[in-house]
């Protein structure tokens, strides 16, 4: 189960909805640390903490 970092509700993985979620690979000091998931609107609400999403 994966939760949205912003609203803490479950992020559902459906292929046809893949553009409605944002997946962020978070690096700390150049080393991969974790993946964070957001609903697309939640990512915008959070102020795009990891920059503009890319396809
Ligand atoms: Zn959310």
35 CA to centre of ligand 1 in angstroms: 15
Average pLDDT over every residue of 27-48:
94
Report the separation in Å between the CA atom of 10 and the middle of ligand 1, taken as the mean of its atom positions.
8
Which residues are CB-neighbours of 24 under 8 A, at least 6 positions away?
Answer: 35, 36, 37, 38, 49, 50
Tell me the pTM.
Answer: 0.76
Domain ranges of the chain: 1-49
Model pLDDT, residue 47: 96
pLDDT at 13: 67
Q: pLDDT by residue (tens digit) across 13-30?
A: 665 655 688 999 999 999
CA of 2 to the centre of ligand 1 (A): 11
Residue 53 Cα to ligand 1 midpoint, Å, equals 15
């Amino acid at each position: 189960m994966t939760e949205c970092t912003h609203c803490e509700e479950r992020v559902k993985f459906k292929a046809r909805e893949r553009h409605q979620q944002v997946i962020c690979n978070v690096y700390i000091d150049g080393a991969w640390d974790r993946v964070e998931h957001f609903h697309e609107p939640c990512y915008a609400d959070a102020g795009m903490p990891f920059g503009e999403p890319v396809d």
